[in-house]
Structure 1
C-alpha cells in the first residue's frame, strides 16, 4: 500500500488560503510535478505533492478493470483523500483547493474529484480520464457546482484514448463541472505550452 509522503513547496499553508494538490504520473515523482509550478500562476498557493510508493499509483493501465489495479488504486485514492482532509483541517475551504495531475496522475486526479464532487477551486488534467475498463458512474457522486476543469490530451495518445477523455468530460459535465476539453493533434504524451497557458487562463486566474 501507499505510505502518505507529501512534498511541499510554494507558500506555507498557514500563510495562504489557496492550495494546489499536484499528482505525478507513472514513473515520475512529487519533485517532478512540483517543478511545473514554475510555469503556473500559483505564486500565492501552497503546493502539496504526494509521492506514490515505487513512483506508481496503480500497477496496470487505467483502462483495466478496477479490480486488477487493486488494492493500489483504492490506496492511492485514500492518500489523496487524506491530503485533502489535512488541508481542510488547516482551515482551507474546499472552494480554494485545486488539483493538477499528469498522465497516471491526471487519471487519479479525475477519479478522486468525480468520487468526491463538490465546489473546488479548479482541476487540471494533463492527459487523463476516469479509471476503469468502462465508466463506472455508480462510483461518482456529488455536485461540482461549476468547478472549472481543464483536460488536455493528444490525438492520438499511446496511453489515453480520446474516446475516454470525451466520456470523462460528459460525466463531469453531468455533475455540473465547467469542463474545458482540448484535443491536440499529434502532440505526444507530454505537456504543451498551450496546455500550460490554458491552465493559467482557465484555472489559476483567481
Structure 2
C-alpha cells in the first residue's frame, strides 16, 4: 500500500492512522493530524481501489451501497498492512488511533466491526454503518469519536445514530459531535475531535 510514515516526538507513544475520503490521497489529512496531535507519529495510507480514477479504500456498488465482499477483503488487507508497517517503522501497534474521513472513516469503522483490539481508538468523520447483521467483537473501553453533519446528504442523522448505538452495544465509549453542516469537514468538528483526543490519551 502507498503510505507516508512520519516519526515525530520520540516521547509520544501514539501513531495516527490517517485514512482519506474518496478521491483524496495520503497527504489530505496531514494538516488535521497536526491539529489533533502534532507530536504523534503519522501513518497516512492511500486507498488502493480506484473508482473513475479516484482512490478509495474499497469498492461500492453505488453511492451508499458498499461491495461487502471487497470491504471484507480490504479491511483484512489494511489490518495486515498495519502489522507490517509497525514492524517496519517500529511504532507501538497497540497505540494506533485511526483518523478517517468519509470513505476512510468507513474502512476504519470496518476495522472495529471485524477485529478485536485492532485500534486503540478512532476518530470517524462522517462515517456510515460499515456492515449490518453481523456480531461485533468486544470493544469494551475502546474510545470512538464520531463527527457528523446534521444536514449530511450522504450520512443522514439516522445513519450516525445507528452506528453510535451498535458501537456502544459492543462496549465502545462513543462521543458524537453534531455540526450544523453537510458532508464537509469543519474547524469546529476537528477542534472537538482534538479535545476528545486529549481527554482519552492524556486525561486532559
**Structure 2 length normalisation: TM-score?**
0.82
Say if 1:129 and 1:164, in contact at 8 Å, map to a contact too: yes
Residues 167 and 5 of structure 1: CA distance in aligned 2, closer, same or farther (over 3 Å): same
Runs of 5+ unmatched residues, structure 2: none
Match of 2:56 in 1: 56
Residues 165 and 19 (structure 1 numbering): CA distance in 2 closer, same or farther, change over 3 Å? Answer: same
- Cα contact 1:62–1:131 (8 A) shared by 2: no
1:31-180 counterparts in 2 under 5 A?
31-40=27-36, 42-53=37-48, 54=50, 55-60=55-60, 61=62, 63-64=64-65, 66=66, 69=67, 71-89=69-87, 90=90, 92-94=92-94, 96-118=95-117, 120-132=119-131, 135-138=132-135, 140-141=136-137, 143-180=138-175
Structure 1 residue matching 2:43: 3-state secondary structure: strand
**CA shift for structure 1 position 46:** 1.2
CA shift in 2, pair 1:57/1:121, >3 Å: closer
The structural deviation recorded for 1:24 is: 0.6
Deviations 1:35-73 (A, max 9, x none): 322322x22211001111231223335742x5xx25532
> Aligned residue pairs: how many?
192
Whether 1:29 and 2:28 are equivalent positions in the alignment is: no
Partner SS for 1:31: coil
Deviations 1:138-183 (A, max 9, x none): 3x22x22312111011122121121111111111111111100122
Say if 1:20 and 1:46, in contact at 8 Å, map to a contact too.
yes
- CA-CA distance at 1:115 after TM superposition: 1.3
Q: Deviations over 1:80-131 (max 9, x none)?
A: 202321355436152x111110011111111111211328432101100222
- CA contact 1:118–1:145 (8 Å) conserved in 2: no
Query: Deviating runs (4+, > 3 A) in structure 1?
Result: 87-91
